[in-house]
Amino acid sequence: MRPRLSVANAAVSTVLAAMLAACQSPAPTAGPSRGALPTMERVALGANACWFKSGDPAFAAYKLAPELNSFSGRPRILLVHKGSPESRPLLVVQAEGSPAHLQAFGPMMQEPVAGRVTADVNRWSAGGKACN
């Protein structure tokens, strides 16, 4: 009977080890946080540095209006006319969820600069910091 008990103990030990391994969470992945707020914070910093502080002529007529503290769960940035910040936004970039689902819309997305906006926002949201 003793050998049988050893086999049973080994089987139980194997099952327990497998159960413990299944319960452990995976190691955290390196890289930027993919939630809506951290993603939009990266986009806002990139837009400010690359579109505005750099003096980029494509964005000279506009002003950045970040709205990151959103109670709707959709932090966003707006581009408005520099002379009338209260006017309707020309570009809205917002994120929602985790991982963040990004949207960019507004009249600027029908202009030639739309491709650049899309490329820049995608790069910054993924953690890149480079300007164009």
In a domain, 17, yes or no: no
Q: For 45-82, what is each residue's pLDDT tens digit?
A: 999 999 999 999 999 999 999 999 978 889 999 999 99
Has residue 20 been placed in a domain? Answer: no
The two tokens of residue 95 are: 């994120």
* Cβ-Cβ contacts under 8 Å for 75 (sequence gap 6 or more): 36, 37, 40, 41, 67, 68, 69, 94, 95
Within a domain: 66: yes
Dist CA 72 CA 75 (whole Å): 8
Kindly indicate the confidence band of residue 32, based on its pLDDT and cuts at 50, 70 and 90: confident
Q: Quick check: pTM over 0.95? A: no
Q: Is 70 exceeded by the pLDDT of residue 24?
A: no
* Tokens 């969820």, residue located: 97
Residue ranges making up the domain that contains 106: 36-125
pLDDT band for position 86 (50/70/90)? confident
Q: What is the per-residue pLDDT for 70?
A: 76
Residue 102 domain-assigned (yes or no): yes
Helix (H, G, I), strand (E, B) or coil at 17: helix
Please state the rounded mean pLDDT for residues 103-116. Answer: 97
Q: Alpha-carbon distance 93 to 104, whole Å? A: 4
What's at 55, amino acid-wise? G
Number of domains in the chain: 1
Q: Is the pLDDT of residue 19 over 60?
A: no
62, part of any domain: yes
Task: Say which DSSP state 51 is in.
Answer: I
